[in-house]
Structure 1
Amino acid sequence: MSNQYEYVPHRLLRKHVRDISSGNEGELMAVINENVSDTGIERWMELAYIRGASGREFTTAVDNLEPA
């Protein structure tokens, strides 16, 4: 099995973004290519880590991001 995650560059890093699936907004802190499988069969997905106004971070698929 390879690494569990790797950081991915993204044009919106450190910018204010909106998660279109939830409507939540915040600053894009990182995009990470993560193995999200819990079955032992690798399943990789690019997740966006967004820090909301409360200071708590949440994740969403990178395809759900838009500039806010």
Structure 2
Amino acid sequence: MRERYEYVPHRLLRRRVRDIASGVEGELMAVINENVSCTSVERWVELAYVRGASGREFTTSVGNIEPAE
């Protein structure tokens, strides 16, 4: 079994982005391909880690982020 996560390069890293699912804006801190499986069958998803104005980070699907204008 591979590591449980791996960092993925992204063109918006360290830039201001918007999570289209929630409308919250923040700085894209990392994109990580994470193994979220609870069984022996691996399931990998790419998650975006965004730091909001409060300083707390939240995750969302990479497909939900867009550059903030």
TM range (shorter): over 0.9
- Percent of pairs with identical residues: 78
**Structure 2 counterpart of 1:37:** 37
User: 5+ residue gaps in structure 1?
Assistant: none
Root-mean-square deviation (CA), in Å? 0.7
Aligned length: 68
Measure the CA separation in 1 of the matches of 2:38 and 2:59.
18
**Structure 1 counterpart of 2:60:** 60
Runs of 4+ in 1 over 6 A off after TM superposition: none
**Structure 2 counterpart of 1:2:** 2
TM, length-normalised to structure 1 = 0.96
Could you tell me which amino acid in structure 1 is paired with residue 28 of structure 2? Answer: L
